[in-house]
Structure 1
Amino acid sequence: MGDIEHALLQGALLLGAVSIVVFGLTLLVARRFIARPTEALLAVAQRWREGDLAARAPDCDRRSEFGQIAVAYNAMAAALQRREEELRGYAEAQEARVAERTRELVLANDRLQAEISERRNTEAALLQAQKVQAVGQLAGGIAHDFNNILQAVLGGVGLIRRRAGDAAAIQRMAGMIEDAARRGESVTRRLLTFARREELRADTLDVGELLGGLREVLSATLGAKIRVEVEAAPGLPPVLADRGQMETVLVNLATNARDAMPDGGRLVLSAKAVQAGNAGEVDGLAPGAYIHLVVADTGEGMSAATLASAPEPFFTTKPLGQGTGLGLAMARSFAHGSGGALAITSEQGQGTSVSLWLPVTNRRVGSNVAPTWERQTPKPTGPTRRPRVLLVDDEPIVREVLAAQLAEEGYDVAERENGSAALDLLHQGGSFDLLVSDLAMPGLDGVALIREAQRRQPGLPAILITGYAGDAAALAVGTAVGGTFALLRKPVTGAQLADQVAALLNSLPGTLEAAR
């Protein structure tokens, strides 16, 4: 039994030793062929996850499973890297294409904006050229009308000189001269308004009053062979449109009608209120209330082919140099821009009729016009003295008349012929209650004079008198001149000037009373 136990002990020791050797060998083999390849694959997988597709698994024995897995992983990473490079190249190409397209769009937009600006400038220039052409065509008639006015004025002045002692005759002649001057004033204002160049300003217009005023001008300018008639129903609702452009359109249409009646005829300007119910009644006209304006003549008329091309810009049947072909095109643009429409009907030998539809507005006529000054007198404030007025105008006749009118109203007037002389007077210590100046003068103009005078004498009220027409002049002057200021347009009567002077003086504290 002892031998048996000894043999068993040796067998157990031998088995333990063999087991330890086998376990050690197994650990070495596992470390070499399993743990290290696994760690290498995990490390390279971590780099792939972080975006480094250039990383590769270490080379292993391709006959082993880990070697085959490493080869497959490396092939997959290479494919992904190629795909990413392809996508990156495609994205860069797309970005370059988008940037190039963006540059092209920017350049195209710049060209479009330049073309739009050029077109607007061209349209404005063409509109002004059309106005100038119309004024030129009307110049003969305007000269005839002014000759009649001057005849009345000069004749009346001669009669006043010969009848200096006949107060009744002088009064009668003075009234006649004033009527003639008022007629000249009306013609001048219409010409200045018609020919002005400024931004369009929509206004509420009384169509009947506008047509009546145009009839006076057209009757004298279209010639004795053309009989101008106005047919406007009383109480027409107002329309919202630019007065200057509307007058330009009507004058151009009247001029075209005159050219179509070389042997004379009848021109009718009519207006009535209509209601458009269906959108298809008139081309481009929406349902609503309108004023239907018609300019009809008894002239030669147009053929169907000419009628179809008549509204096109620059189309004209007149000889070279006698027409631009913009009249009807401008009329259509005005009608559409005002929210209305235009239509033309004509037959050869039966005359032509041009219809304008302008939408009715609910605004009251003259609601955006500044109120005129009512007759005022300065407020008395204790001891009275005559207010001192500095009058500046480069025209001796105008200056003398205005000074006499102010003196008759009780003001102490100092006259100067230009802005420099007026500033010299102020520099010498002259103190004035009010400054009256012309706008257009050589050297220092009226605006600069008022600014400098108000700098030297703060709070000095001023009145600027100008012969220019239009609201643009008033807005420009109003932004350039500060303080107490008013703008009057020539011709201005003595009463109007005195009223404005009194109104400005009354607006100041410590107002002086004019000697009456």
Structure 2
Amino acid sequence: MSLLQSQVPGNLRLRSIDGTERLVGYSPPTRQNHGVAAVVGFEEQELLRDIKRALLRGVLIVGGGSLLALGMTLLVARRFIAAPTDALLQAARRWRAGDLAARAPGAARHSEFGQLAGAFNRMAVALQQREEELRHHAQLLEDRVADRTQALREANARLEAEILERRNTQTALLQAQKLQAVGQLAGGIAHDFNNVLQAVLGGVALIAKRAGDPAAVARLTGMVEEAAQRGQSITRRLLAFSRREELRADRLDVGALLVGLREVLAATLGAAIRVEVEAPPALPPVFADRGQLETVLVNLATNARDAMEKGGRLTLLAEPVTVAAGDPGGLATGDYIRVTVADTGAGMDAETLARAGEPFFTTKPVGRGTGLGLAMARSFAEGSGGRMTIASKPGCGTRITLWLPAMAVAAEPAAPVPAPRPGALPARCARVLLVDDEPVVREVLATQLADAGYKVTEAGDGAAALALLAGGLACDILVSDLAMEGIDGVTLIREARRARPALPAILVTGYAGDAAALAVGQRVEGSFTLLRKPVTGAQLADQVAALLGWRETV
């Protein structure tokens, strides 16, 4: 079929009837062949036998010649190539191991390997010389490093000893200054509080003697109240100075701060120092940390007192200024409040003035100062976006000025007074549960609330209050002290609201730092009002009325 279908001559392999493989060549029947096909067949093995025999003979001849040539080549290479190469490799291994004294053999021969061995040996000699030179230089460097290291150890030991001594000295000086400042402050405050107590006790005694004279009682009551308010102002400033209040930057009226600070400084600095305040009304507010500013001003006032050993005048001045572009002091363009602390003391010479702002630099005797006051003042002023300047001359006193950025004064819209909702509980007939562990304070607060028209139930501690509530006490609002033994005010509010979720509450506290510790929203569900002691009866009654006026009747 392949023959008949093909158009060109070809060959194919066929198995004949006797099972013999034959190789057949053929020419197909075409028109040119007049339809005649030519076929020639050979037995394949007989045809290829002579070819295979001739091919095998050629392979044997070529293989034998190649083996003979390879053997002769190996003999020659081992004698003239492998042996010199092995000798060079052994020498190179010894050089790599650090034995530069090793030499390659055969360097005296005039062959290529002899010349190569000679070059390698010369290289080894040069490397050996370099190594000896480097070893010598390394030894010299080690000796020098050891000497310098020993010197540095000794210097470092001396420096550490000096640093430790200076740190101990600074700690002792700082502690001494703290003790001195506490003693002076305590003396001044004790003097001021003695005046307050004198007014209160004297007024109470006079009221007792003139109980039948309403006009005298009213006048004496006003005097006692004024003295108590002055004591309240002193305690608030002490708490702010001791950082028991939340210290954060806020709108600050510098003029009012200086006027209030004068009370503390006048008693602390002594009678020989006259404290004056000069501040125009309606100063723009500044955005600063009140506690830090008060601390800075007290430190500066203390320094001024030490510079006026025979007494003098301390002036606290505040004034608005405007800084234009290109200020030589580096202040940004804008409005500032310039706070100046000026004294009439001995002043400073140029050398002392140049170092006055350095930390730990002080001209005071040992144990009377650490030199941190001016450094803290400079840090506060720059941290608030301003700067500090010092002007002083011997015999002319010192002026220290703080530049604080002023805030823009914006008119605040008056808050609308909300009208009570329909069904609100009448405030003046409400039932108040009052909890305080101080009997005198509890009695005063209860009397004030009763005078305002409230029905008051008293409890001496948190456990007693919870027992009253559990017994079904009718209560519209809870007024509690914060710091009490056992159950404190926050815990009391939380436990009370488990049974009465809508119960309004007021916390009264005498500690200025409690607001941060309360963690409002985390320890107590719902809102409450915080009032700081001393609180007047009118303030407490108004706060109760404000809370009850918005509570829906249950």
After TM superposition, the score normalised by the length of structure 1 is: 0.70
Give the letter for the 2:402 counterpart.
Answer: L
For the residue of structure 2 that corresponds to 1:430, the secondary structure is coil
Deviations 1:137-176 (A, max 9, x none): 2222222222222222122212211111111111111111
1:413: how far off?
0.9
Paired residue type of 1:240: F
Aligned in 2, Cα 1:364/1:464: closer, same or farther, shift over 3 Å? farther
Deviation at 1:322, TM superposition (A): 3.0
The CA deviation at 1:387 is: 2.2
Cα distance in 1, alignment partners of residues 227 and 545 from structure 2 = 28
Match for 2:385: what amino acid?
G
Counterpart amino acid of 2:345?
G
Q: 1:448 to 1:410 in 2, by over 3 A?
A: same
**Which residue in the other structure is 1:306 paired with?**
352
CA distance in 2, matches of 1:270, 1:349: 21
Amino acid at match of 1:499: D
- Paired residues of 1:381 and 1:510 also in contact (CA < 8 A): yes
Counterpart among 289, 300, 307 of residue 260 in structure 1: 307
Q: 2:530 aligns with which of 484, 487, 492?
A: 487
Residue number among 483, 488, 493 corresponding to 1:450 in the alignment: 493
Deviation at 1:478, TM superposition (A): 5.5
Q: 2:408 aligns with which of 346, 356, 362?
A: 362
Cα distance between partner residues in 2 of 1:385 and 1:290: 49
C-alpha deviation, 1:380, in angstroms: 6.0
Q: Deviations over 1:58-91 (max 9, x none)?
A: xx88969xx9xxxxxxxxxxxxxxxxxxxxxxxx
CA 1:385/1:350 → structure 2, altered by over 3 Å: closer, same or farther?
closer
Aligned mate of 2:293, from 216, 236, 246 = 246
Report which structure shows greater RCO (CA 8 Å, sep ≥6). 1
Asked whether 1:426 is paired with 2:485, we answer no
**Can you give the 5+ residue segments of structure 2 that lack an aligned partner in the other structure?**
1-47, 78-172
CA contact (8 A) 2:345 2:398 kept: yes
- Aligned partner of 1:443: which letter? G
Given that 2:343 and 2:399 are in contact with CA atoms closer than 8 Å, whether structure 1 keeps it comes out as: yes
Q: Pairwise mapping of residues 356-435 of structure 1 onto structure 2 (< 5 A)? A: 356-362=402-408, 386-435=429-478
Q: TM-score, normalised by structure 2?
A: 0.65
Task: Please show how residues 344-355 of structure 1 align to structure 2 within 5 Å.
Answer: 344-355=390-401
Distance 1:165 1:179 in 2: 22
2:174–2:369 contact (8 Å) kept in structure 1: no
Inter-partner Cα distance in structure 2 for 1:357 and 1:163: 54
Change (3 A) 1:508 1:264: same
Matched position secondary structure for 1:323? coil
Matched, 1:138 2:181: no
Cα offsets for 1:314-345 (capped at 9, x unmatched) = 33333343333221121111112111111222
Would the aligned equivalents of 1:296 and 1:354 in 2 still touch at CA under 8 Å? yes
Equivalent residue, structure 1, for 2:316: 269
1:182 to 222, 226, 229: 229
Percent identical residues: 64
> Against the structure 1 CA distance between its residues 352 and 152, is the aligned structure 2 distance closer, same or farther, given a 3 Å change threshold?
same
Instruction: Kindly state the Cα deviation for residue 310 of structure 1 after the two structures are TM-superposed.
Output: 2.5
Partner AA of 1:301 in structure 2? G
CA distance in 2, matches of 1:498, 1:302: 56
- Higher-Rg structure is 2
2:258 is the alignment partner of 1:211: yes
The one-letter amino acid paired with 1:303 is D
Question: Residues of 2 paired with 1:377 and 1:136: CA distance?
Answer: 53
**Aligned partner of 2:202 among 155, 163, 169:** 155
Q: For residues 416 and 537 of structure 2, what CA distance do their matches in structure 1 show?
A: 13
Aligned residue identity for 1:290: Y
1:363 & 1:305 partners in 2: Cα distance? 42
1:425 positional shift: 2.1
1:466 alignment partner in structure 2: 509
Q: Write the distance in 1 (CA, Å) between the matches of 2:396 and 2:338.
A: 21
2:389 corresponds to which of 336, 343, 346: 343
CA shift, 1:241, in A, is 0.7
Q: Alpha carbon RMSD of aligned pairs, Å?
A: 4.1
- Alpha-carbon distance between aligned partners in 1 of 2:175 and 2:241, rounded to the nearest angstrom: 10
Superposed CA deviations along residues 180-235 of structure 1, whole A, max 9, x for unmatched, are 11111111111111112466411011111211211232223222221112222333
- In 2, Cα distance between the equivalents of 1:27 and 1:363? 113
C-alpha contact 1:301 1:350 (8 A) present in aligned 2? yes
Q: Report the CA distance between 1:432 and its aligned residue.
A: 1.6
1:54-65 equivalence runs, <5 A = none
Q: How far off is 1:379 after superposition?
A: 7.3
* Residue 28 (structure 1) shift: 7.7
8 Å Cα contact 1:134-1:252 kept in structure 2:
no
Whether the aligned pair in 2 keeps the contact of 1:273 and 1:289 (CA below 8 Å) is yes
Query: Which region of structure 1 is more displaced relative to structure 2, 130-139 or 445-454?
Result: 130-139
How far apart are residue 446 of structure 1 and its match?
1.5
Structure 1 equivalent of residue 482 of structure 2: 439
Pair 1:315–1:211, CA change in 2 (3 A): same
Distance 1:478 1:466, change over 3 A: farther
SS of alignment partner, residue 278 of structure 2: strand
1:81-104 deviations in whole A, cap 9, x for unaligned? Answer: xxxxxxxxxxxxxxxxxxxxxxxx
**Contact (CA 8 Å) 1:394, 1:441: kept in 2 or not?**
yes
